[in-house]
Amino acid sequence: MSRGTVRSAYGARAKEYTELFGTIDNTHPADQALIAAWAHGLDGKVIDAGCGPGQWTNFLHALGVDAEGVDIVPEFIESARQHYPNTAFRVGSLEQLQVPDQSLAGILAWYSLIHTSPDDIPTVLAEFARCLAPGGSLLMGFFEGETVEKFPHAVMPAYFWPVAEMGKCLDRAGFLVTSSNFRKDPDARPHASIIATPHPVPHWFPEHTVVRRD
């Protein structure tokens, strides 16, 4: 989906979406535990990429994390600033986070890529890889399925992703997957999460390159 389509679709339903999901009380306790544990080891700035109403950005801020929420939907950012005035938010896109290279300790992308087409996923992951410092960490949440498949989401079409396929995309973007998680709750779509870190060896370096020293 194009950025404009996503922005318009969520902008039109921002008030409804915020009322339903805009507080941490409406999130799963297991997700809270996972994100808190992930954030505990981060030392530096963290961006909540695709922050929506800002509940997770504020959750990180309350844990003492230097967190900033970024979202393409101005209505979400306006609401987040009103509800969480002590937390930083700005309008921006996942494809261009507008931070210096290797400047972030972490990126949280919690269900913020579900509307991104498979063809565009590499562009977003490449931007995440550019922004993360060595030793930094990416935590993604998404809908899990047996195949990469579009489905009718309440706001606009979204995608299921097998964990293994998303892992391959991360590998190609220069990430090393360190852990993954799967959960199926009653009357809910299957959930998956992946934690990945920038690959310790430059991903562009040919595997069998011989370096001459003469």
pLDDT at 208: 37
Q: Is the dihedral of CA 63, 68, 70, 76 positive or negative?
A: positive
Residues 6+ apart with CB under 8 A from 94: 49, 50, 70, 72, 109, 112, 113, 116, 124, 127
pLDDT at 151: 85
193: nearest Cα among 4, 27, 21: 27
pLDDT at 201: 61
Mean pLDDT of 1-25: 63
Over residues 190-209, the pLDDT tens digits come to 899 999 999 876 544 444 33
Mean pLDDT of 57-86: 95
> What's the chain's Rg over C-alpha atoms?
17
Band of residue 214 on the pLDDT scale cut at 50, 70, 90: very low
pLDDT at 153: 76
Q: pTM to 2 decimals?
A: 0.86
194: nearest Cα among 164, 149, 155: 164
Q: How far apart are CA 31 and CA 53, in angstroms?
A: 17
Q: Is the pLDDT of residue 179 over 70?
A: yes
Strands 66-71 and 88-91: parallel
214 CB-contact burial (10 Å; exposed 0-12 / middle 13-18 / buried 19+) = exposed
The more confidently predicted of residues 155 and 184 is 184
Q: Which domains does the chain have, with CATH numbers?
A: 3-198 (3.40.50.150)
